[in-house]
Amino acid sequence: KNQVEQSPQSLIILEGKNCTLQCNYTVSPFSNLRWYKQDTGRGPVSLTIMTFSENTKSNGRYTATLDADTKQSSLHITASQLSDSASYICVVSDMDSNYQLIWGAGTKLIIKP
């Protein structure tokens, strides 16, 4: 079964610190890997989309990396801000299932002042 697993499940850091969230997937072949940010009670918002041939993509203080050989991705957040408190969800597009998106359960990030 195609899966996307994220770690840690939750994370608390102090404002201004950096953090890295992990995503391991078994979806193969895949078309692209996405990271979404979801504030509590809101819809997800796309942060990055990487095709299988890309290794890294940045969006401001967010940098996503992808290692297609080990089937791992990470999302690095630099100089965290209180507004970064949210769930971060890793999503993989499954080429064998008509590009259906396979969603992870997310990492809940809390930034403390």
Partner 1 sequence: DTGVSQDPRHKITKRGQNVTFRCDPISEHNRLYWYRQTLGQGPEFLTYFQNEAQLEKSRLLSDRFSAERPKGSFSTLEIQRTEQGDSAMYLCASSLAVSTDEQYFGPGTRLTVT
Q: Are 11 and 21 in contact (CB under 8 A)?
A: yes
Q: Which is nearer to partner 1, 40 or 70 (CB)?
A: 40
- Closer by beta carbon to partner 1, 62 or else 103: 103
Choose between 42 and 61: whose C-beta lies nearer to partner 1: 42
Q: How far is the CB of 16 from partner 1 (least distance, A)?
A: 27
Pairwise CA distance, residues 106 & 8, whole Å: 9
| DSSP assignment of 66-106 | EETTTTEEEEEE-S--GGG-EEEEEEEEEGGGTTEEEE---
Residues engaged in binding partner 1 (CB under 8 A) = 4, 32, 34, 41-46, 49, 51, 89, 91, 93, 98-101, 103-106
